[in-house]
Amino acid sequence: MPVKKVAGSNPCVDGCTCARHPEGYPFDASLTYGERKRVNETEEQREHRLARGKEYYEANKDSLRKKAKEYHHKNRDAVLARNKIRYDSDPERYREQAKRYRLENPEAKRESDRRSRLKHIDRAKKRDREYRLENLEKVKAYAEWYRNQPENQKKKKEYQTNYYKTNKEQFKEKGRQYRENNLEKVRASENLKNRRRKAVESDGHTQKELHDYWRAIGIDPKRCTYCDAWHTKWDNNWKTSAGDHVVPLSKGGKDFLENIVPCCFSCNGSKSAKILYEEWTPPNRR
């Protein structure tokens, strides 16, 4: 049986087809046939080769992807080792390629990342957990920045509203069960709120007097001061909230006409007991 000739070895035995190269192959035998052809190709030849390769790939995309997937599965360790060697040889080039692909194909990249995460969810969770522990301050800073972006706040608000509407009965049932299972705790909380409310200094105004006061100074009772939204669904001439205390009662504010402004339920819940402009900025001022 003929002995395969490698570069730098002695001549093959008589009868071998490579015996005509007594000093070894006139090329690097470690290269594949395709790699040897590309060593001295011209730019025109390269463009022609790439064009034909692209054309062939488009015509046989599904079968080629299937074969590549099967090969990768059977030779995973070898493929990863080869890719690492290739990446380490010119990391800057491959980082630039990856960056360019992300910019040119954002939707495809997000979908690919999503599928990969679902496929390796345990590994992804472990990686995320380790990253948070190692970069706690960075993660907190990004989370704070993300929450304060108007478009993200709008998305979160829409998601929460839609989720509540879709699962309204479920929320009601959970609330009822919590009250039954924690009756003493709920009563104590309600009593504390009532005591605080009674302890607040008030001018004793009625809702009608409050609305008359607003109209007298040019404020429409049906328009939210913080988001400028007009409200059409009213209950007894008001929506859900009867107004917001600009200086929260829990922080020394008084229940006076001058300290109350029209406010929708959403802004009232978002502002809560925060100090206006110091701890909370209205949507129409962001």
Q: What is the CATH number of the domain that holds 273?
A: 1.10.30
**Would you say residue 44 lies in a domain?**
no
- Alpha-helical regions (H) of 217-281: 265-271
Model confidence pLDDT, tens digit, residues 55-103: 999 999 999 999 999 999 999 999 999 999 989 999 999 999 999 999 9
Residue 25 lies in a domain: no
2: pLDDT strictly greater than 70: no
Asked if the structure places residue 258 within a domain, the reply is: yes
Look up the domain containing 266 and give its range. Answer: 202-285
pLDDT at 271 > cutoff 80: yes
DSSP letter (8 states) at residue 13:
P
* 233 located within any domain: yes
Last residue of a domain, one of 134, 159, 190: 134
| The last residue of a domain, from among 134, 165, 186 | 134
Predicted confidence (pLDDT) at residue 186 exceeds the cutoff of 60: yes
* Domain membership flag for residue 279: yes
Residue 54's pLDDT is what? 92
Structure tokens that stand for 97 in this block: 């390629």
Residue 95 in domain: yes
Domain assignment present for 105: yes
Whether pLDDT at 173 is above 60: yes
Q: Supply the pTM of this predicted model.
A: 0.40
Domain tally, the chain? 2
pLDDT band with cut points at 50, 70 and 90 for residue 24 = low
Q: Phi, psi at residue 11, to the nearest 5°? A: -55, 150
pLDDT score for 75: 92
Q: Note whether 255 and 203 are within 8 A (CB).
A: yes
Q: Nearest-CA neighbor of 117 among 108, 128, 106?
A: 128
| Residue type at 182 in one-letter notation | N
Integer CA distances (angstroms), 23 to 35, 141, 183, 215, in order: 22, 66, 95, 104
DSSP H or E segment with residue 185: helix 183-199
The per-residue pLDDT of the chain, averaged, comes to: 83
Residue 23 is predicted with a pLDDT of 59
Which pLDDT band, with edges at 50, 70 and 90, does 120 fall under?
A: very high
Domain end among 103, 134, 165: 134
Residue 129 lies in a domain: yes
Please name which of 270, 210, 275 lies closest in space to residue 247, comparing C-alpha atoms: 275
Residue 110 main-chain phi, psi, to 5 deg? -65, -40
Half-sphere exposure of 246 (CA within 13 A, CB side): 11
Q: Could you tell me which residues come within 8 angstroms of residue 11 by beta carbon, excluding any fewer than 6 positions away?
A: 5, 19, 21, 22
Residues 138-166 pLDDT 10s: 999 999 999 889 899 889 989 998 999 89
Q: Are 283 and 260 in contact (CB under 8 A)?
A: no
